[in-house]
Chain A
Amino acid sequence: MTAVLTAEAVRVGPDLEAWLAVGGGGGLRRALAEPEAIIPVIEAAGLRGLGGAGFPTHRKWAAVAAQPRPAKGGKWVICNGNEDEPGTFKDRFLLSETPHQVIEGALIGALAVGASTIVLYVNPREAAAVRVLKQAAQAWAKHSLLAECAAFLGSPLRLDVVEGSGLYVGGEETAAVASVMGGFPFPSLKPPFPAEAGVNGAPTLLNNVETFAHVPHILREGAEWYRALGLGAAVGTKLYSLSGDVLRPGLHEMPMGTSLRQLVFAHGGGMLAQKAFKAVFTGGPSNTLLTAADLDVALDFDSLRERGSRLGTGAMIVVGEGTSILRKTAEYVAFFAANSCGQCPPCKIGTHQVARILERIENGAGRPGDLEALENLSKMLPGSGRCGLLDGAATVLSSSLHAFRAEYEAALARQSSGQVNLGAA
């Protein structure tokens, strides 16, 4: 067990002095000492966006840093803690148990890009995280380290906790920007990316809570140390949110690139009730399902992409024999339909239609032709929304339909014309 973000020592809650006592602040001091080294160190460490995209962090930082500083208001940093997707529960842990490493990471980010406002953007439904984060932010505001940062930047540095809308779509980066500006979290077309024109048109650096949490450790311990934490070509550690039909669900911090088998059978305690392993919904859950053939795949961005899937947020929803893929898919598509912001007609109507068809199959009222309709929709819909929500819903639908078509057919057969189901349970 390689615990960096979740190590017992760093779980200090809102107590800033306790964080500084276990080596906190070291990364920030190094950043203040050699500010020009921040982005190169991040680049050397190979840190990537851990909110799901896996985009190289240093490129984002360099892009914001390269933008001219607006005359009024300065640049912005948003620490994205909107986390609301089914099966993901890492950010709420980091924010409520170890908020200071996240804040320190965001401060280092602000130094690197020259921002004068940091927004800690959180899901208001995570009441504990909001409470702890507010206390933690207040502790920083009074501390001399923050004043040192402001002195370095040559302008006051604000550290705000902003409660988002509590809507899933608010986690999308342009939606987060809209939300921070006080509006409804409508995603917008990219480009322009927030790095060019974010909050109030100012260049804005936006990273996930987990990404920022790694930053102080990287600056303090060095890029080499961070790279060595990963397995194979992957670097660092990753928080996997393990749930579903395993004996020990929960948050597991493991080397990036740990195999699915290792995660489920060694750390997760194996399958619940010794049921056979069937599949895993990863990330959003908006990605291609992993099946038994993928048990030995390394859980990192590149290995999963090669398999045609994605790591996403690191959520692993394990499905065993006895749990219905159809019901899970219907649940997730219904989630996406309920959380479509409604801007793009194909998304608003498409997710709703898919959810409706899945619901009727699930509830014993499916019709002949429903599976073909689902297949058509899953081919037709992707790419027609401003953000990835619609694509995610279509991906999870088409991959579950592709890999587990028999389950869909069995559910349809079970209900046809009130026929008696003799024998099979």
Chain B
Amino acid sequence: MTAGIPLAQALANWRACAPAEPRPCGLPVAELLRGFHPDQRPGAMVPLLVGISAGQRAPAELAALLQADSLVDDIDLAGAPLLEADVLVIGGGGAGCVAALTAARAGARVLLVTKLRIGDSNTVMAEGGIQAAVGEDDSLQRHFEDTLRAGHFLADKSLVAALVSDGPAAIRWLIQEGMSFDLADEGRRMGGTLLRKKPGGASAARLLSYRDFTGLELMRALREAVLLQPGITLLDRHPALELLSDDRGRCAGAALHDLARGRTVLARAGATVLATGGSGRLHLLGFPTSNHYGATADGLVLAYRLGAPLREVDSFQFHPTGMAWPGHLEGQLVSESARSSGAMLVNGLGQRFVEELQPRDVVAAAILREIAEGRGILRDGRAGVFLDTPTLERGKPGILAGSLVTLSHLAHRAGIDPASEPFLIRPTLHYQNGGLVIDPAGRTPVPGLLAAGEVTGGLHGSNRMMGNALLELVAFGRRAGEAAILDARVERPRNVGLTHLADWRRALTVQGLPLSRKAPMIFPPYGNFNAATDRGKAA
């Protein structure tokens, strides 16, 4: 990957050619993906040996965690303080907050626990927008078809139908919660029409946004709503160590670690909603990531141990435009709204090599192909391609300062002027397409365990459309919250403990897998904090 065109020469090529001429791709999409998408790399995936989804494939880093032993033992629960609730929500990102709000408004006593703080999540990283078929020229059917096609027809149709049908209501709900959206007619004080953009891979303008920090604005509204909602008890800095089970295999809450006091706390609940997000911080396949610090697949690991099946955990989304340079910003996201506003991707020869608004997996594979075939640009040993912001600014003066706020901020941190110099970008690990199997109500096959958001699978097939993640967390957060309160009202769990761990350890032993490896990871190892050994220490 070190072969490439030096920066100075590439800039000269870019200036000489601007605006760049498109070069035909020359490869059918299927072949492009097979040859250059990271998921498809030979040896990238290993089969799972234990658990209900044994035989499925997953990246080696994830498989190691999925097939590890627990951080806690039965004896750690003796004497641990007990918290009781109707509904336990694990995860304080978008999906968790929506589920908690929904359940609390339906009358449940809700315990919302987060590993870091409320809002510390990938939701706030979402820049582009949220999809919902609200335009006159659009329909639920088109949204449904676009989503299935982008996911290579691997998605669960009933889940996708639920997602797109909830779209317009989800937007109305968000507006009622106080979220702002970009309007087509910005000057008006009251009313107005939502501004719609066309997301990559869509057949209609369907992307609703707020500047280029839609997720942050969404999370702001949710966070305020949660903090004001009676019936929700919020526990920050309480990562989940293990799910609790009763003697019939029902999920009965979770064992949490109180970081401030350095001790285990039990949260018992009639229903548990997992909204723990994805796994980007495992740096799967060695890629940098756009993900939040907390995205360590904790929810997948815990639910899998309790017997919840997985799907498409061999499929990850690599966002085409992650920062490739400078090093300290590697993997950080350059918003897709740059491309949906018209910014081009240019290789070291000054050529446009891909139609920028194709689905993310195609664009990412095309970029990786340019780099692999020596047409990338080298800067301080890092390879990438250009995101042509100067040409965009020339075509639409003022766009950088006006609507691409996050992008301009990022350029400032990188020490470049986006109006005169293009970004050097490279695909970054962005989203976990698969996850826990759920039904349209958000229930996993394990009684009492529900899930919403990125931790679930089935909505995106093997590739997610931009804007569907924010819609998913609202639509399925609400569905899971509604289902959770119903589940919490059926029979109470009995003999609550870690019954499932004995069977899990038997399975590991029979397969000859080490019991010395512990999971979930909880914190990625950057900070030299080891969750297994430092658990007794106050953070």
| Given A327-B74, A422-B538: A272 touches B506 (CB 8 Å cut-off) | yes
Whether a CB of chain B sits under 8 angstroms from the CB of A407 is: yes
B81 and A415 contact, CB distance less than 8 A? yes
A327 to B496, CA, bound (A): 10
Q: A362 — which chain B residues lie within 8 A by C-beta?
A: 77-79
Most buried by A among B69, B266, B502: B502
Scoring A residues 287 to 327 as 1 if CB is less than 8 Å from chain B, else 0, what string do you get?
Answer: 00000000000000000000000000000000000111011
Whether a CB of chain A sits under 8 angstroms from the CB of B227 is: no
A322 and B75 contact, CB distance less than 8 A? yes
A331 to B246, CA, bound (A): 12
Whether a CB of chain B sits under 8 angstroms from the CB of A245 is: yes
Q: A422 — which chain B residues lie within 8 A by C-beta?
A: 262, 536-538
> Of the 9-residue stretches A22-30, A363-371, A386-394, which lies at the interface with chain B?
A363-371
Whether a CB of chain A sits under 8 angstroms from the CB of B497 is: yes
B81 and A363 contact, CB distance less than 8 A? yes
Whether a CB of chain B sits under 8 angstroms from the CB of A12 is: no
Most buried by B among A247, A324, A410, A421: A421
Nearest-CB residue, chain A, relative to B535 = A425
A273 and B509 contact, CB distance less than 8 A? yes
A7 to B261, CA, bound (A): 56
Whether a CB of chain B sits under 8 angstroms from the CB of A412 is: yes
Name the interface residues of A351-385: CB closer than 8 Å to any CB of B. Answer: 361-366
| Given A273-B505, A273-B515: A364 touches B535 (CB 8 Å cut-off) | no
A420 and B80 contact, CB distance less than 8 A? no
Whether a CB of chain B sits under 8 angstroms from the CB of A424 is: yes
Across chains A and B, the number of contacting residue pairs, with CB separation under 8 Å, is 83
Whether a CB of chain A sits under 8 angstroms from the CB of B369 is: no
Whether a CB of chain B sits under 8 angstroms from the CB of A145 is: no
Q: B77 — which chain A residues lie within 8 A by C-beta?
A: 324, 327, 362
Q: A323 — which chain B residues lie within 8 A by C-beta?
A: 73-75
Whether a CB of chain B sits under 8 angstroms from the CB of A423 is: yes
- Pick the contact of A415: B69, B74, B79, B495 (CB < 8 A): B79
Whether a CB of chain A sits under 8 angstroms from the CB of B117 is: no
Q: A324 — which chain B residues lie within 8 A by C-beta?
A: 74-75, 77-78
Whether a CB of chain B sits under 8 angstroms from the CB of A191 is: no
Instruction: For residue B265, give the distance in angstroms from its CB to the closest CB of chain A.
Output: 8
A297 to B80, CA, bound (A): 35
B79 and A272 contact, CB distance less than 8 A? no
Nearest-CB residue, chain A, relative to B75 = A324
B538 and A410 contact, CB distance less than 8 A? no
B536 and A363 contact, CB distance less than 8 A? no
Most buried by A among B75, B82, B502: B75
A324 to B498, CA, bound (A): 11
Instruction: For residue A116, give the distance in angstroms from its CB to the closest CB of chain B.
Output: 41
B536 and A423 contact, CB distance less than 8 A? yes
Whether a CB of chain A sits under 8 angstroms from the CB of B263 is: yes
Chain A interface category by residue count: 20 to 34
A414 to B78, CA, bound (A): 9
Whether a CB of chain A sits under 8 angstroms from the CB of B76 is: yes
Name the interface residues of B304-341: CB closer than 8 Å to any CB of A. Answer: none
Q: A361 — which chain B residues lie within 8 A by C-beta?
A: 79
| Given A327-B74, A327-B78, A363-B82: A421 touches B536 (CB 8 Å cut-off) | yes
B509 and A247 contact, CB distance less than 8 A? yes
Whether a CB of chain B sits under 8 angstroms from the CB of A228 is: no
Q: B505 — which chain A residues lie within 8 A by C-beta?
A: 272-273
Q: B74 — which chain A residues lie within 8 A by C-beta?
A: 322-324, 327
Q: B262 — which chain A residues lie within 8 A by C-beta?
A: 420-422
| Given A273-B69, A420-B538, A422-B538: A245 touches B75 (CB 8 Å cut-off) | no
B509 and A410 contact, CB distance less than 8 A? no
A380 to B370, CA, bound (A): 83
Q: A425 — which chain B residues lie within 8 A by C-beta?
A: 76, 535-536
B261 and A420 contact, CB distance less than 8 A? yes
Whether a CB of chain B sits under 8 angstroms from the CB of A411 is: yes
A365 to B83, CA, bound (A): 11
Whether a CB of chain B sits under 8 angstroms from the CB of A70 is: no
Instruction: For residue A281, give the distance in angstroms from its CB to the closest CB of chain B.
Output: 14
B261 and A364 contact, CB distance less than 8 A? no
| Given A420-B263, A422-B537: A331 touches B73 (CB 8 Å cut-off) | no
Name the interface residues of A179-235: CB closer than 8 Å to any CB of B. Answer: none
Whether a CB of chain B sits under 8 angstroms from the CB of A418 is: yes
A272 to B498, CA, bound (A): 14
- Pick the contact of A418: B79, B261, B535 (CB < 8 A): B261
| Given A323-B74, A420-B538, A425-B536: A411 touches B515 (CB 8 Å cut-off) | no
A412 to B81, CA, bound (A): 11
A407 to B506, CA, bound (A): 26
A414 and B79 contact, CB distance less than 8 A? yes
Q: A413 — which chain B residues lie within 8 A by C-beta?
A: 79
Scoring A residues 227 to 254 as 1 if CB is less than 8 Å from chain B, else 0, what string do you get?
Answer: 0000000000000000011011000000
Instruction: For residue A84, give the distance in angstroms from its CB to the closest CB of chain B.
Output: 13
Instruction: For residue A358, give the distance in angstroms from its CB to the closest CB of chain B.
Output: 10
Nearest-CB residue, chain B, relative to A272 = B505
| Given A323-B73, A420-B263, A422-B536: A364 touches B79 (CB 8 Å cut-off) | yes
- For the A-B complex with A326-B78, A327-B497 known, give 7 more contacts whose Cβ atoms are closer than 8 Å: A245-B502, A322-B75, A326-B79, A327-B74, A365-B81, A415-B81, A418-B261
- Closest 4 interchain pairs by CB? A411-B79, A364-B81, A322-B73, A363-B82
